[in-house]
Amino acid sequence: MPDLVTNEFNLVDIANLAVAIAIILAGFLSVFYIFVGGISFILSGGQEEKIKQAVHTIRYAIIGLIVTIFSVTIIKILGAVFGFDLLSIVTWEKITTLMNDVVERIVGTGGGSSSAPSGLPSGTLR
């Protein structure tokens, strides 16, 4: 886990972040394409070619989802075999925190103009 006080990141933290983002993105895209294929199937109007294309979209999205699930399982098994906790970062809070910290470290702080004054919630006008 990165040292959030000094903003020091090592290669393992960045690799964990990349793996976590790839897994989450692959899962979301698979579910999205299952939805798109279902809508295409409903809107096909009985046309054989459109039905075939929608079924292929759903089939490949399900295959992608299965590959994503297997990849998480394989990463977890390899982590246990080699003594690494490769999926320790796959919580939404940890991902967003680490992404924010990496972006702040790369870009730098913008002078703190986006933070609200003490005692005022964000978005409150004086």
Q: Which residues pair with 3 in a beta bridge?
A: 8
Helix (H) or strand (E) holding 76: helix 48-82
Gap between the Cα atoms of 42 and 90, Å rounded = 35
Round the average pLDDT of the chain to a whole number and report it.
Answer: 76
In which band, very low, low, confident or very high, does the pLDDT at 97 lie, cut at 50, 70 and 90? confident
- Please report the pLDDT score of residue 11 as a whole number: 75
- Kindly report the pTM of this predicted structure: 0.60
Per-residue model confidence as pLDDT tens digits over 32-83: 999 999 999 999 988 999 999 999 999 999 999 999 888 888 878 887 888 7
Q: Which residues pair with 8 in a beta bridge?
A: 3
DSSP structural state of residue 84: -
Gap between the Cα atoms of 35 and 28, Å rounded = 11
- Please report the pLDDT score of residue 27 as a whole number: 87
Is 126 a residue whose pLDDT tops 60? no
Cα–Cα distances in Å, from 77 out to 23, 49, 84, 126? 16, 42, 10, 54
Other residues' Cβ atoms within 10 Å of the Cβ of residue 86: 19
- What would the mean pLDDT of 72-98 be, rounded to a whole number? 75
- Please report the pLDDT score of residue 56 as a whole number: 96
